[in-house]
Amino acid sequence: MANREIIDRDTYKKIKKMNREELTKFILQYGDELLGEQGKTIDHPALDGELSKIKGIGGKRLEEIMIVIEKFLDV
């Protein structure tokens, strides 16, 4: 693999100062941007439908899960 700069120095410094929650949010946003560049996105209604099929997840719990997912994806 060739030496290729993935992140610039300023971004690296910002990442070093992040706590776990901030880093998780940054990684999810970065990954979502990469998927968006490839033309792939998350289909929220399909995700909701698949999660609702899991045994033990009712309407209220599903709603809570979707709120957390949307919070991390900044929807």
Both structure tokens of 49:
């439908």
Which residues lie closer than 8 Å to 42 by C-beta, 6 or more apart? Answer: 32, 35, 73
* Model pLDDT, residue 52: 87
Domain ranges within the chain, ordered by starting residue = 7-41, 42-75
Prediction pTM value: 0.44
* Model pLDDT, residue 37: 62
pLDDT in tens, 13-71: 998 998 888 888 888 888 777 766 666 567 778 888 888 888 888 889 888 888 888 88
